[in-house]
Amino acid sequence: MKVLMFGWEFPPHISGGLGTACYGLTKGLSCIKDLDILFVVPKTHGDEEENKMKLIGASDVSVLKRELDVKAFKKTIEYLEVKSKLMPYVDPEDFKHQTGYTVEEAGAFLKTDDQGKIPFSGKYGNNLLTEIANYSVVAKVISEDHNFDIIHAHDWLTYPAGIAAKQASGKPLVIHVHATDFDRSGGKVNPVVYDIEKKGMEAADSIITVSNLTRKIVIEKYGISPEKVSTIYNAVEPLVDEGKMLKKGFDEKIVTFLGRITMQKGPEYFIEAANKVLNKMDNVRFVMAGSGDMMKKMIHQVAELGISDKFHFTGFLKGDDVFDMLKMSDVYIMPSVSEPFGISPLEAMQANVPVIISHQSGVAEMLKHAIKTDYWDVDAMADAIHSLINYPVMSKMFKTRGKSEVTSIKWESSARKVYNLYKETLIAN
């Protein structure tokens, strides 16, 4: 079986969980002998680990000799011109105006080099949705040049590309919903992003959601038939070398929030819980590791509460820095308001850190050895932090059982379920 897969980012060049999930899944799928994957991203950098698959960048594909074919493809694409730069999964709230055009008119908009290649940044800048539209044009060309059995598109950024490949090839389309705009925006969805998501879901022959929480949103908010939507949980890459324990250099406990500092992740609730804990005890520090549109607001909130001397902002962490931070932590907390899945608690459990997660996260559906609270219940959150810090037996229990539990959550298992869904989709089509 040959799979044409579309993504937007791939390690080590990632900005969030999407690239991490794509890497883990493709690595798991590479263990299946009769499966070949052609993975497409907007731009490659040359240092990606391909894991027995072929990785190509859309910016390396020439569309110069395909003008007539491109004009024949009459798929309407909507895009926005935005003032501010976009982070992955963040709703583009501030925009000038909305423009619609068909790909048959795209010749007037596409900018190519002398080889007919379209430049892609592969980032989330102010021309993101224009790049998404251009990506769909290249996807059609790629689908004409390669043989494959099924198409797999990851998240809304690649849905137009998946649709283009399906229309050009007639092959079935599987879309992977890692998040929806309802998660990213807190319910105040951007109509253009919602429209891209809905069209992708309607065009798909099968839909994979990363949790039942997300599956419910797809069915209820987008009007998709339940028979078409399957939940396949994410997993976590096993630690090859756990390394040495890191010394903090001080005796205080560390409680860590690690993720994008956006409304979706609930950073303000973490700060409120931290303040309540610090009102009870002094030998604890809180770390907010990450970046995002709410970072400045969170710094001001910490200052207003008068806990700046006990609070640290590290900025965005990646690679070994993530695990170094986790190894120094005594508690990890993910107070997400709406989290489709959440791989970071699994990474924390691998590092022998007890975790606190919100009931409003997909990973809460599968984890047994994690403390779960509602994101808004900062009193319960503070009590859980206080207990894990002050009761060593309780902390040790969550560390030991959590580490054992996460060891069994493997990408190979998730990949096998995806492979079975491929086969069912092919039989149905």
Query: Per the domain annotation, does 246 fall within a domain?
Result: no
Dig out the tokens for 319 from the structure: 């690679």
Q: Output the pLDDT for position 109.
A: 52
Same domain, 224 and 260: no
Nearest Cα neighbor of 287 from 251, 315, 321, 323 is 315
Specify the amino acid at residue 158.
T
Q: Which burial class, exposed, middle or buried, applies to 305 when counting CB atoms under 10 A from its CB (0-12, 13-18, 19+)?
A: middle
Looking at the structure, tell me whether residues 186 and 322 fall in a common domain: no
What's residue 241's pLDDT?
59
Same domain, 106 and 155: yes
Same structural domain, 297 and 162: no
Rounded to whole angstroms, how far apart are CA atoms 265 and 87?
13
The pair of three-digit structure tokens given for residue 163, joined into one six-digit string: 């649709």
Predicted confidence at residue 90, as pLDDT, reads 41
Instruction: Give the tokens for residue 221.
Output: 């908010």
Place of tokens 């190979």: 412
Both tokens of 27, joined, read 């690595």
Whether 180 is covered by a domain: the verdict is yes
Angstrom distance (rounded) from CA 114 to CA 64? 9
- Token pair of 310 as six digits: 């006990």
- Is residue 398, in this structure, part of any structural domain at all? yes
Q: What is the token pair recorded at 181?
A: 């705009």
Q: Which residues of 249-269 are buried (b: 16+ CB within 10 A; e: fewer)?
A: eeeebbbbbbbbbbbbbbbbb
Contacting residues for 147 by C-beta, under 8 A, at least 6 apart:
2
Distance separating the N- and C-terminal Cα atoms of the chain: 15
pLDDT tens string for the chain (429 positions)?
999 999 998 877 776 678 889 889 999 998 898 899 999 999 887 777 776 788 999 999 888 655 434 444 444 444 433 333 344 444 333 333 333 333 333 444 566 777 778 888 877 777 788 889 889 989 999 999 999 999 999 999 999 999 999 999 999 999 999 999 998 887 788 898 999 999 999 999 999 999 999 999 999 999 999 999 999 999 998 876 555 566 677 789 999 999 889 999 999 999 999 999 999 999 999 999 999 889 999 999 999 999 999 999 999 887 788 889 999 999 999 999 999 999 999 999 999 999 999 999 999 999 999 999 999 999 999 999 999 999 999 999 999 999 999 999 999 999 999 999 999 999 998
Q: What angle do CA 35, 12, 32 make, to 5 degrees?
A: 15
**pLDDT score, position 238:** 82
Identify whether 160 is part of a domain. Answer: yes
Give the closest residue to 6 by CA, choosing from 169, 95, 132: 132
What's the pLDDT at 181?
Answer: 92
Residue with tokens 């894990």: 388
- Show the domain range for 156: 2-235+411-428
Q: Is residue 242 a part of any domain in this protein? A: no
Which residues, 6 or more positions from 163, have their beta carbon under 8 angstroms from its beta carbon?
75, 136, 173, 199, 200, 203
CATH of the domain at 189: 3.40.50.2000
Q: Are residues 398 and 423 in the same domain?
A: no
| 211 and 306 part of one domain | no
Within this chain, do residues 355 and 224 fall inside the same structural domain, yes or no? no
| Residue 241: inside a domain | no
Residues 61, 117 share a domain: yes
Same domain, 29 and 141: yes
User: Considering the domain boundaries, does residue 126 fall inside one?
Assistant: yes
Residues 224 and 309 in one domain: no
Question: Which of the 8 DSSP states describes residue 373?
Answer: E
Q: Quick one: 271 and 198 in the same domain?
A: no
H-helix or E-strand containing 319? none
| Domain match, 262 and 134 both | no
Domain count, the chain: 2
Q: Which residues pair with 209 in a beta bridge?
A: 177, 231
* Inside any domain, residue 248: no
